[in-house]
Amino acid sequence: MTSSAGAPARIRIGSAPDSWGVWFPDDPRQVPWQRFLDEVSAAGYEWIELGPYGYLPTDPARLSDETRRRGLSVSAGTVFTGLHHGPDVWERTWAHVAGIAALTRAMGAGHLVVIPSFWRDDRTGEVLEDRDLTAEQWRHLTTQTERLGREVRDRFGLRVVVHPHADTHIDTEENVSRFLDATDPDLVSLCLDTGHYAYCGGDSVELIETYGERIGYLHLKQVDPAVLAQVVADEVPFGPAVARGVMCEPPGGVPALEPVLAAARALDVDLFAVVEQDMYPCPPDKPLPIARRTREFLRSCGGPGRPDTPTGPEK
């Protein structure tokens, strides 16, 4: 998303079902979707993501009515892919992507967040495949992601933003750089998740400064360094690590979000920055107070050009 000619760029802050402990379309440990919508609006957010497909209503008319009357708009949908397996998985992948992309577009959003498949189960820790891709698998990953970016753009008018994620093959600084260097910037952008990138040892500010033209979307998240050190030492899978509290409430963890937002503002492009504090499962009354405090913290991260305001002199 680029700023229109003559208009100052801005960062629009949103939140997501993930910050309410929602990881699955249906789970008794998750809050009902109506409560999520009520509370994300009450916390002061105007933008949301769809979350796992099927959690929110999938009928565009109903979802539009539910979001509109709460003053909410949708910034993106999310899909999971295993494109490193090559052309053989394309038809199955597209069947999964197309329905989500159609709803995303119908809701007026412009982005589709693409998360690579996990190399180990995020709940049980079962190793599903090798954590390192072969050269052929890397070629499949990059070429098939470009194909996905082209099809999603041409058929739905959406921008694909690939999300580096713990326990996937696009995770560390080395792997993120390798992926970006091998893909077409016109077809594939990056959803930089500050928490996942820190979890995997990366520096978000350095990534923004190095690959600024590839940054198409942000997820704002922090990790607790002490918990992270322990889960890395114990080789804990991502799901149990979240249950241990590895993702924490800002500003109590790393990376510091003020310099991340400053680096993003320096790109001079419009961006969404969506808060995602992984905390599945969590007590139903826990998310709203955290969401309110996080929103106020993010309001304080700036001055001129702060999130949700135009860059340039204060009015």
pLDDT for position 314: 33
Show the tokens assigned to 273.
């920055």
pLDDT for position 150: 98
Tens of pLDDT, residue by residue over 220-268, are 999 999 999 999 999 999 999 999 999 999 999 999 999 999 999 999 9
pLDDT for position 123: 78
Please check whether residue 141 is in contact with residue 115, taking contact to mean a CB–CB distance below 8 angstroms. Answer: no
pLDDT for position 311: 41
Mean pLDDT throughout 148-171? Answer: 98
pLDDT for position 313: 32
pLDDT for position 7: 58
Tens of pLDDT, residue by residue over 64-114, are 999 999 999 999 999 999 999 999 999 999 999 999 999 999 999 999 999
Residue among 70, 72, 91 nearest 82 (CA):
91
Q: What is the pTM of this model?
A: 0.93
How many Å apart are CA 106 and CA 90, to the nearest integer? 23
Average pLDDT of every residue of the chain? 93
Show the tokens assigned to 212.
């600024």
Side-chain-side CA neighbours of residue 46 (13 Å)? 7
Tens of pLDDT, residue by residue over 4-61, are 455 567 899 999 999 999 999 999 999 999 999 999 999 999 999 999 999 999 999 9
Residue among 200, 247, 201, 188 nearest 222 (CA):
247
What is the DSSP code string of 257-281? HHHHHHHHHTT-S-EEEEE-----S
pLDDT for position 315: 27
How many Å apart are CA 241 and CA 277, to the nearest integer? 13
Tens of pLDDT, residue by residue over 265-304, are 999 999 999 999 999 999 999 999 999 999 999 999 863 4
Domain formed by 11-299, architecture = Alpha-Beta Barrel (3.20)
pLDDT for position 312: 39
Residue among 73, 50, 108, 103 nearest 308 (CA):
73
Residue with tokens 């998750």: 30
